[in-house]
Amino acid sequence: MAKRIRYEVLPLSKAELASIGTGGGLRWKVTIDGDRLAVHGKQAEAVTFAAATARSEWKARGVLGELVIKGRDGRIRDSRTYGRDPRRTPG
């Protein structure tokens, strides 16, 4: 099976907040395979951005993607896949 690019939406750590100077407000980051891609003020904005990026990569270049959305506590809240999923065959 082809490797999927992993997009994650998760909150910035306190150290990251201090380094970019966001004024103390909770910010959300979008990462691609662990590398920070973008920072957003609201989780919904970050999810919309990550989903659009994953969808456009699939449509333009056929790159498989997986979006993992984490809450403030670091636990996975939702996950989505982009691209063709393997057929579910018995066996």
- 12-30 pLDDT, tens per residue? 888 888 777 755 566 899 9
**Residue 38: which domain range?**
5-82
Model's pTM, two decimal places?
0.82
**Three-class secondary structure of residue 40 per DSSP:** strand
Query: For residue range 58-78, what is the model confidence (pLDDT) as tens digits?
Result: 899 988 999 999 999 989 999
Question: Which pLDDT band, with edges at 50, 70 and 90, does 83 fall under?
Answer: confident
Is residue 52 in some structural domain?
Answer: yes
Into how many domains does the chain fold?
A: 1
**Torsion sign over Cα 49, 50, 55, 58:** positive
- Is residue 68 assigned to a domain? yes
